[in-house]
Chain A
């Protein structure tokens, strides 16, 4: 991307969610049938229910899968190599970068517990969903 690329658009719903996650107040949207989703949503993507309640995310989640990215786009050029993970927080799974470990296929194991927060991309300082290992494995 060139230096004079337009500023990213605001993303109402997502931006508030990321701010809440950064403040330790991350949440999932949950419908009356218990389906979880992430904002912005008007209806539950599984069943169409319009009554969506904000439920706080658990303190830690369980790693479901992970990878180590060596070739990235320009927005992550200075972050490589980095580990990605999908982590189960109950009603929703989150996708983020794994920090606090050496990136490698054995940096983390499926089932490990990690905490979630918001950290900065090395490349440009933009906010990023990030996981860190917790002691209570």
Chain B
């Protein structure tokens, strides 16, 4: 089994790009990833591409060959769809393919175009990540599902809207220096608390925005990097994936995310590390409560303890364990099918030292990325380590 390196990362700015096609967004991210990697595109042997709602947003199915063209690669190309974890599973497949010796170079990432649809159609589109018969027809929206989890969490463990507002304020503050982030303005705890409700107990600043964007990573084998003089100091040392019952009502626990527990356990075992060795994390905070659930599934906090992490300053930029230094989905934005790739792009730059927030994790050796689909019926976790 060969070791896997991240040779290059590329992102579009996350935000509203109503006049740009999905193929142009992914082409931009891929171009930047190739420039960052210094790897010729003809060496790419596989494209693993994530996208969730392209059939609704752009009337475009069969996107993988289109994106291979856009990126200028000619190789087997496959689209992965796992709702908001689509790019996470795409990256995982690239890692497994390179590890298995099936390819020395893979291009992985994803794209989502959302802002060209009216908000109610995006709401409807995102809801299809839930069970259509037993949830969507019962009025469950994407924010509504996380609101159900937040109520259950408060009941089981305590915590308040104010604790969640600290998660929002932290992630917005982290996004300010990030040139790829959708929202680069600070939001105070008070502003978050006073914002209008979306699905109570969640209000506007508890929710990620609607975002267009793309992510791309050039994933290579350690041998390829050595033979071709490719500077790739960050290794993907662990990958894990978990699955749970589709509908929230069918889960064992409404205030926990066992699929992410399983993904984290597998990723840590794969990397041969434990959660106590993690220095920095990018987690799937599509809603503020989701960051709390992620921290607990990753074993960084005990169940019921994650709610105070931002409030107590542990996960802030200058805390002991910075979380979502990119701004997270919350402020950086959440182009659904691109998010999992962008988390690994951000984490790679944080560990390499060329991220605008790298100063907060100057000595970091180990990072973890947590990407979740729907209400965490799917979860993917990756461990990244500084190898050189």
Contact = CB atoms under 8 A, between A and B. Distances in A.
Most A CB within 10 A of own CB, among B121, B123, B150, B196: B123
A54 B107 CA distance: 49
B199 A73 contact: no
B139 A128 contact: yes
Contacts of A110: 151-152, 155
Chain B binding site: helix, strand, loop or mixed by DSSP? helix
Given A38-B134, A128-B138, A71 B119 contact: yes
B250 A84 contact: no
Contact of A74 (B124, B143, B148, B254): B124
B1 interface: no
A67 B247 contact: no
A74 B123 CA distance: 8
B152 to A, nearest CB: 4
Chain B interface size range? 35 or more
A69 B119 CA distance: 15
Residue of B140, B147, B152, B249 ringed by the most chain A CB atoms within 10 A: B249
A74 B141 CA distance: 11
Nearest to A65: B152
Contacts of A94: 134, 249
A94 B140 CA distance: 12
Interface residues of A, number: 37
Contacts of B120: 72-74, 77
Interface of B: 119-121, 123-124, 127, 133-135, 137-141, 143-144, 147-152, 155, 196-202, 245, 247-250, 254
24 contacts: A64-B152, A66-B148, A67-B148, A67-B199, A67-B201, A68-B147, A69-B144, A70-B196, A70-B197, A72-B139, A73-B120, A73-B121, A77-B120, A82-B139, A84-B148, A86-B148, A86-B248, A86-B249, A95-B248, A104-B200, A105-B201, A110-B152, A110-B155, A121-B139
9 tightest A-B contacts by CB? Answer: A73-B124, A67-B147, A65-B152, A93-B249, A68-B200, A73-B123, A95-B138, A65-B151, A69-B144
